[in-house]
Amino acid sequence: MKKWKNGSSPPRERNCGNDSDIMNLIENITHVAQTLRRNKVRSFLTMLGVIIGVMSLIIIVSVGAGAQSLIINQIKNIGSNLIGVLPGKADPDGPPASVMGVVITTLTNADIRALVSPDYPAIVAATSYVKGVDTITNNEQKIDTTFTGVSANLPEVEDTGVAAGRFFSAEEEAGMARVAVIGSEVAEKIFSDADPLGRKIKIKKVNFTIIGVMKKRGSASFQNQDNQIYVPVTTAQKLLLGIDYVSFARLKIVTPDQVDPAMDYARRILRERHRIDNPSDDDFDVRSMASGLAAITAITNALKFFLAAVGGVALIVGGIGIMNIMLAAVRERTREIGLRKAVGAKNRQIIEQFLLETVMITFIGGLLGIILGALISFAVSRVAIGLGYKWDFSISLGAIFLGCSVSIIIGLASGILPARRASRLDPIEALRYE
């Protein structure tokens, strides 16, 4: 029997009338496995594009799901029985205008105070917010952080409290008192192990007395809550920022089932105060946390789909690379193809051989890509969790199925042209090929 250059025997060709499809398939698989083993480096480089493409797809889907869980967990940390009030008219299905960086001055602290009334007990507390950034100083210590003007009801609205000292009172808020409650990280950075209560800090050249240190809260509302400084909203407006409006507000509702009626009540009161007759002329936006969660979920789902499509492009590029290499392999293995056809191999069997080879290459590449993608995604989740974020590690079965199926489809698609070219070779001319 004629030996190949590497010393192995060519695959046996049987008469089609006696061979079963299963035997042909087994012979082709054995032959393809031998070919891949003989050309390990080329086989690996051939499947590298698929490995990278599938790995990218898995990472994108997993990290996208983790990022989505981070955003959702941030919102859930705020509470499901809260209503957000923002200045400016907004599309119900789109983001509020104020979160797009537009400064809108139509909402005041008096508007928010008017929403808390004994006549409507479903709204149990409310707080306004204004924010600024400054270098906070204490003698020789300086840190850059955010200061937030809030109402005295902040601990009740956000279900938090102080670890030491106290929060400022409604009387101090009304009197524009120069008092501050600092986060635990601020206390550690400025005062180290010393007791900060009663000490002074300077914000925008205004001295404030520290009366409390907040409990550790971690990240919420996309901010590190332990790196915050809270002052009365009136003090922040008049002494620090020179404004008479608020950036947004939150209302705490007695129970989640009262959220929708409370939203209707808030809209009615604000329209009365702003003298608005037509709801289409609203200069404010009232939203529940549930509606905000649904909108953000829809946005992040669309973003995940877009990123997955980008990963699919990498897979297509990998498939084109496989096609080019397989076309070169047809030329390189011309004599082998001629020998197979000379001993009775049919065109269909030649096509099956090359298609099977590309499918095996892409399938193995897909499996390696899934494993690497899962490992990298897990590493990303551990890093995020280590940084204090509530990041859920998730590898969906859908993503694994998609990676495997897409790699096989690309293998079939990229192998058709080389397989057909190989099957059309004339056996006599092929045997003469050098």
Q: How many residues does the chain have?
A: 434
Q: Which residues contact 94 (CB under 8 A, 6 or more apart)?
A: 295
Contact 107, 246 (CB under 8 A): yes
> How many Å apart are CA 131 and CA 236, to the nearest integer?
8
Q: Which range among 196-205, 344-353, 405-414, 422-431 shows the weakest confidence by mean pLDDT?
A: 422-431
pLDDT in tens, 41-67: 777 777 777 788 788 878 887 887 777
Instruction: Output 101 or 323, whichever has higher pLDDT.
Output: 323
Residue with tokens 């499947």: 47
Q: Which range among 15-29, 163-177, 232-246, 358-372 shows the weakest confidence by mean pLDDT?
A: 15-29
Question: What average pLDDT does this structure show over 260-267?
Answer: 92
Instruction: Output 314 or 54, whichever has higher pLDDT.
Output: 54
- The pLDDT assigned to 16 comes to 46
Confidence of residue 109 (pLDDT cuts 50, 70, 90): very high
What is the pTM assigned to this prediction? 0.59
Which tokens belong to 351? 């096509």
- The pLDDT assigned to 433 comes to 52
Confidence of residue 272 (pLDDT cuts 50, 70, 90): very high
> How many Å apart are CA 96 and CA 90, to the nearest integer?
5
Contact 263, 137 (CB under 8 A): no
Q: Residue 137 burial (CB < 10 Å; 0-12/13-18/19+)? A: middle
Distance (Å) of CA 44 to CA 36, 38, 47, 90, 125: 9, 12, 5, 54, 64
pLDDT score of 431 more than 70: no
- The pLDDT assigned to 345 comes to 67
Confidence of residue 111 (pLDDT cuts 50, 70, 90): very high
What percent of the chain lies above the pLDDT cut of 70? 71
- The pLDDT assigned to 361 comes to 78
